[in-house]
Chain A
Amino acid sequence: MIEADKLTKIFPATKKAKEMRAVDGLSLRCEPGKIYGLLGANGAGKTTTLRMLATILEPSSGTARVAGFDVVDEPEKVRENVGFLSTATALYGRLTAREMVEYFGRLHGLDEESLRKKIDSLFETLGMNEFAGRRCEKLSTGMKQKVSIARTLVHDPPVMIFDEPTIGLDVMAARTIVGFIRQCREQGKTVIFSTHVMSEVEKLCDRVGIIHRGRILSEGSLAELRARHGKQDLEDIFVEVVGDGQ
């Protein structure tokens, strides 16, 4: 379960840029076994929102409860219950695939015995045994994706956060990720993911939030959005909503 309540993030003014309200009073709710899609253009506030939910950034005001813990008061508890994946979350190149996942398992407090069992089964399921002992820097993009997936799953989190997980990936690697997101839903996890690709939203999402300038301008299931805006095509709906906001 994720419940965001008037999340706001203001980046203070610097020499180069003025004060920036990246996320502005954003509230949303994602339920277990459902996929929530955050749809927005570049700079709409998607990454900042997800980073606040993953407690990588602290909200300027407002808060959120993730898996029952408050992101401001108990950030470490939140992180214990979240798997966070984005194309920005790189791997340690000089660790092997197995060491990389082991490291995160240990950081999540797993004891050596259950860590070994968990990794054996993860590597088996994801088909990673063949390159388990190879250094991450030597892996192909697809293999790296699998290591990242194993890294987010090693502590079996009930909440998954994906920040533009398919950006820059080729078709096959992107399919792996999309399949993985579906699997998470089947396992009853709460899933939120951000994207600017309409087709991904249409394929995956149970609920969609269209985000622009840090605010959610329209929200609902795909059917609700279509009914509300009188349009079939999600792209047309998106343009209408965002255009309204300008």
Chain B
Amino acid sequence: MSLRNIGVVYRKELVDSLRDRRTIVSMLVIPILLFPALTIGMGLLGAKLMSQAKEEIPDVMVMGGEDSPRIMDALRASKKFHAIPASPDFKTRISDRTLRAAIEIPAEFDAAAGRGEVQSVKIDYHEGDVKSELTKETASKMLSNYRDDFAGQLLAARGVPTSLVRPFKIDENNVAPPEKVSGSGFGGLIPYFVIILSFTGAMYPAMDLTAGEKERGTMETILTSPVSRTDLVLGKFFMVFTASIATAVFSLSSMGISLGLSRQALDRLLSEKEHAFHFALDPRGVLAVFVMIIPLAMLFSAMMLAISLFAKSFREAQTYLSPLTFVVIMPAIIALLPGIELNTQTALIPILSTTLVGKELMTGNHPWGYIALIFLSSCVYAAVAIGAAVTMFNRESVLFRA
């Protein structure tokens, strides 16, 4: 192994790749433009639609209640929804999503309520439909307020203080600092994004530097040079690794900048309640995530080099690497599920472990034992993958696959 030769190969691959429009697109254009546009655009759109759905005053159909003017007046007086007249096809209309929800009031409701009998008011809605669920909650809240007031009046009529209905209040109070809040919300997604990006960033150069060389006929040329095949693959490996890290760096910085710029827009758009969307990210957390990504990016680079070297053409390499995308995305998604926590087992599963520890780092926690374990285990996996790539490069049956 000669550092000088690895450097010569690396420098040439870097120059060569930077002149390739496709590398520039995958390493610079996509991460800088497309990705932030996608994430921020989706976020803004989602928040906008959400607040629209909340601000909109929906129609709620009221069934029955002809003999109960008191509750009917209260329903009609509600500012949160419009009570509309009954129609027998309400269930079909709800499942067809032309109606958000319906309230069914039993016969003689007012009279029975006055006697203190327990009755049930039914709210019909479409589960899984966000708008319908929001309307159901609005109606439910309105009805339970009505119930409390009603009970208070009954008690007052019997000379009992109304406060008995609500003997205590509930105050919900967030004690986590803003960066921890966004760390467990949106910030938890950052490690996931970085992992996916470092993977996709390595993909194109890995194929271009192996199968691409075979296809263009330069593989045989380079094999006539006295540089050892190990030096050759290591030079290529460092180039792919550079592309992987660069993709992640460019996309994160671009995301950070556009978030900063769009922050005011976000503040205006989002009410206090969605303050999880305030991006108070801890820069040290982001940096720490980056350090943890390094061995993973090495693993990706070496793994894809080894696999695409086996391919005879660019297209064949794509066939092998595309399914790999799912293999990488799955553990990252699993880590986002609630209940999947860092323990000695999950810490040994590559990709999953990095996403999990990334979540911790983003919320300002530093579980040093796990950090060390995950970093070291990822390094071991990366070393194995590099070893595999070197072995592949030294096998002529792979280099000259018929």
Contacts and interface: CB of A to CB of B under 8 A. Distances in A.
Interface of A: 11-12, 14, 16-17, 54, 56-58, 76-77, 79-80, 82, 84, 86, 88-95, 99, 103-104, 106-109, 135, 151
B220 A56 contact: yes
Interface of B: 5, 8-9, 12, 15-16, 19-20, 216-218, 220-221, 223-228, 396-397, 400, 402
A219 B250 CA distance: 63
A108 B228 CA distance: 11
Contacts of A76: 226-228
A88 B224 contact: no
B220 A89 contact: yes
Contacts of A94: 15-16, 19-20
Contacts of A80: 226
Nearest to A77: B226
Contact of B217 (A17, A90, A135): A90
Given A58-B396, A77-B226, A95-B16, 11 more contacts: A54-B224, A76-B226, A84-B224, A89-B220, A90-B218, A90-B221, A92-B16, A93-B216, A95-B12, A99-B15, A109-B226
A43 to B, nearest CB: 12
**B interface, over-half SS:** helix
Contacts of B396: 56-58
9 contacts: A56-B223, A76-B227, A90-B220, A92-B16, A94-B15, A94-B16, A99-B15, A107-B5, A107-B8
Contacts of B227: 76, 107
Contacts of A58: 396
Contacts of A12: 397
Contacts of A135: 19
Given A88-B217, A90-B217, A103 B8 contact: yes
A133 to B, nearest CB: 13
A91 B12 CA distance: 13
Contacts of A17: 402
A14 B220 contact: no
B226 A14 contact: no
B218 A92 contact: yes
A61 B14 CA distance: 39
A91 to B, nearest CB: 7
A90 B221 CA distance: 6
A245 B9 CA distance: 46
B220 A88 contact: yes
A91 B218 contact: yes
A86 B219 CA distance: 12
A76 B225 CA distance: 8
Contact of A82 (B217, B224, B397): B224
A63 B220 CA distance: 21
A48 to B, nearest CB: 10
A54 B221 CA distance: 11
Nearest to A136: B218
Nearest to B17: A94
What are the 9 tightest A-B residue pairs by CB atom distance, in nearest-first order? A90-B217, A79-B226, A84-B224, A89-B221, A107-B225, A94-B19, A80-B226, A106-B8, A107-B227
A85 to B, nearest CB: 9
A79 B225 contact: yes
Contacts of B9: 107
